[in-house]
Amino acid sequence: MTFHQAALVPALLCLFAVNSIAQTPPTAAPPAVPADLSPLYVVTYVEARPTARDEAAALLKSYRDASRTAAGNMRSVVVRSVGRPGQFVVAAAWKDKAAWDAHMAAAGTKEFR
């Protein structure tokens, strides 16, 4: 296990230690990322309606699996909250911003979003 992989797990556990999850309006654009950032870590919070929890879990796992095959992806994980089964954290490590940009421009990513 590399240092970056070992650092990701405790970071995710700390994220679930907080009592609230930041809410972002669905129309908000992702924040700007400096071009020279390497590796690039991306963390996304997802909250599903109670009636769509299992469907959301399946979709997020499918997205994770597709992300893992993308060029420049170092690691992708989906974590589901035990106490709140409708809340998920999607975390990924990318080689650099160019790899992230290519992933975001891919047809499959656009379709998922």
pLDDT band at 21 (very low <50, low <70, confident <90, very high): very low
Fold adopted by 3-18+38-112: Alpha-Beta Plaits (3.30.70)
pLDDT at residue 58 tops 70: yes
Domain coordinates in residue numbering, the chain: 3-18+38-112
CA proximity to 99, closest of 81, 60, 75, 72: 72
Query: pLDDT exceeding 70 applies to what percent of the chain?
Result: 73
Cβ neighbors of 28 (< 8 A, separation 6 or more) are: none
In the chain, the amino acid numbered 46 is V
For position 5, what pLDDT does the model report? 53
For position 14, what pLDDT does the model report? 41
For position 113, what pLDDT does the model report? 77
